Amino acid sequence: MRPRRDRRAGTTARFTIAPYNPHIDHMDERFEIRPSTGDDLFMIAGVLVDTWRSTFRGLLADTYLDGMSREEQAIRHARRMGVAGVSYLVAVEPSAGEVIGFANFGPARGHVPAHIHELYALYIRANYQKLGIGAALLRSTAVHCAGQGATSLFAWVLAGNPNRQFYERLGAKAVETSKIGLGDQSYEQVAYLWDDIAALARRTRGPS
Ligand SMILES: CC(C)(COP(=O)(O)OP(=O)(O)OC[C@H]1O[C@@H](n2cnc3c(N)ncnc32)[C@H](O)[C@@H]1OP(=O)(O)O)[C@@H](O)C(=O)NCCC(=O)NCCS
């Protein structure tokens, strides 16, 4: 099993200290966060399809959700991975190496100033939610975007998404609404903005 960092360094612990690895953004006994590689694509697609079905059942049309496929999403994300400036971070379960969540972000789509970046996707598998993984991925996203010169970050979220409070809890403000077409239906979505990306990058847990 891969060695894990012990937060209580110096104690007789279950976990040993991992060697420093500049490619890992976060590591503890439950999950690690690292930039993704092409090898993660199929697992990323699986997280996306399963999470959409578990979260949006009843909100989006069954035909749309049931028609989603892992293969199609893997192809879509392979294309997106090749776009300049677009990045993926994955949260990985350390012992099995399974991808349990991911964040995808980069330059904002549409007519938006270059210093504002967009979080395109953030999904955590249902049985790993509410463990701090989403917040950790978001914080790493902010660090990466700030490193690319961004000063603000926003995300489009379905208005009916039961997890909107996550964004509010992490300090984002609803700033705009629009419509999104999914299948043959149209849904309202809300843009959440973090106007100070540096503050989000510094954030750990709890209210600001
Ligand atoms: C929304 C999501 C990304 C949040 O990630 P997570 O790992 O479950 O959330 P965290 O454990 O990091 O929570 C961070 C904080 O937000 C709060 N929070 C998380 N989900 C919440 C919810 N649905 N309602 C209210 N608060 C919530 C947590 O209680 C925690 O608060 P704290 O700082 O006081 O401890 C994840 O649950 C998910 O992928 N959900 C399904 C898909 C989805 O909605 N994706 C995002 C929109 S596209």
CATH code where residue 141 lies: 3.40.630.30
Instruction: Identify the residue whose C-alpha is closest to ligand 1 atom 25.
Output: 165
Answer whether residue 5 is part of any domain: no
| Percent over 70 (pLDDT), the chain | 87
Ligand 1 atom at minimum distance from 206 CA: 33
Instruction: Please state the rounded mean pLDDT for residues 155-167.
Output: 97
- Give the whole-angstrom CA distance, residue 155 versus residue 175: 10
Answer whether residue 70 is part of any domain: yes
Count of structural domains within the chain: 1
Residues 71, 15 contacting (CB under 8 angstroms): no
Ligand 1 pocket mutation, candidates 127, 130, 139, 156, criterion most atoms within 8 A of CB: 130
- What pLDDT was estimated at residue 172? 98
Contacts of 60 (CB under 8 A, 6+ apart): 52, 158, 182, 183, 185, 187
Instruction: Identify the residue whose C-alpha is closest to ligand 1 atom 10.
Output: 132
pLDDT of 1 over the 80 cut: no
Instruction: Identify the residue whose C-alpha is closest to ligand 1 atom 1.
Output: 163
- Give the whole-angstrom CA distance, residue 168 versus residue 128: 20
Answer whether residue 11 is part of any domain: no
Q: Residue 110 C-alpha to ligand 1 middle, in angstroms? A: 27
Residues flanking ligand 1, CB < 6 Å: 51, 55, 122-124, 129-135, 157, 161-163, 165-166, 169, 205-206
Answer whether residue 172 is part of any domain: no
Instruction: Please state the rounded mean pLDDT for residues 178-182.
Output: 96
Here the contacts of 167-171 (C-beta below 8 Å, separation 24 or greater) are: 167/192, 168/192, 169/207, 170/135, 170/138, 170/194, 170/200, 170/203, 171/199, 171/200, 171/203, 171/207, 171/208
Q: Residue 95 C-alpha to ligand 1 middle, in angstroms? A: 23
Answer whether residue 163 is part of any domain: no
Answer whether residue 50 is part of any domain: yes
Answer whether residue 167 is part of any domain: no
Instruction: Identify the residue whose C-alpha is closest to ligand 1 atom 32.
Output: 206
Question: With 0-12 CB in 10 A as exposed, 13-18 as middle and 19+ as buried, what is 41?
Answer: buried
Q: Residue 164 C-alpha to ligand 1 middle, in angstroms? A: 8
pLDDT tier, 107 (very low <50, low <70, confident <90, very high otherwise)? very high
Answer whether residue 15 is part of any domain: no
- The overall pTM is greater than 0.95: no
**Full domain range(s) for residue 137:** 26-150
Q: Residue 133 C-alpha to ligand 1 middle, in angstroms? A: 8
